[in-house]
A and B are shown apart, each in its own frame.
Chain A
Amino acid sequence: DIVMTQSPDSLAVSLGETATINCKSSRSVLYISNNKNYLAWYQLKPRQPPRLLIYWASTRETGVPDRFSGSVSETDFTLTISSLQAEDVAVYYCQQYYSAPMTFGQGTRLEIK
């Protein structure tokens, strides 16, 4: 199985500042034939359906604010949330869909400082 490791486990960021969440895959999730990284990001809030934010490592889902962005460097993935708002308090997860079983990172809890 591909192991996804997120860092940090939690972080606190001031309103209006930038939050950076990292995710590392134990092996490449880049599919050479289409040059796409099979990596998604989700936002989980209590008592709400989880929300897809990013897929293909950097493509925003429809309706997701452009404050959310994803990037990749080989097997290192980053979710960046700029101009942090109170509504961004949540737990964020990365997920690889390159190979079964699909696996998730352990989650990063984002709070307001």
Chain B
Amino acid sequence: GAVVSQHPSRVICKSGTSVKIECRSLDFQATTMFWYRQFPKQSLMLMATSNEGSKATYEQGVEKDKFLINHASLTLSTLTVTSAHPEDSSFYICSARDGRGLFAYEQYFGPGTRLTVT
């Protein structure tokens, strides 16, 4: 099946700094990528949807200036958490979809990135 990678898998940063998380589709072209946040023992909360070459669409309540998303190519999307604070500590998961063809609905998930802000 299709593979989505994320880097880094874990990151610890100091409060006030920025952190960039990369999401790559390894063997398919991702026309759409999604960024989720998962709190312990809770569900995945969709943060934003990005289509290649266009601005991301953020869900209600998600600060777009704090969570910068770039989807510059069909295989790479980045999430930058700017001026991180301890409450931003969470598990961030990306997902990718090739919106064309027979498997247009298939959505593939990355392994997630554990962010800890101290």
**Do A and B form a real pair?**
no
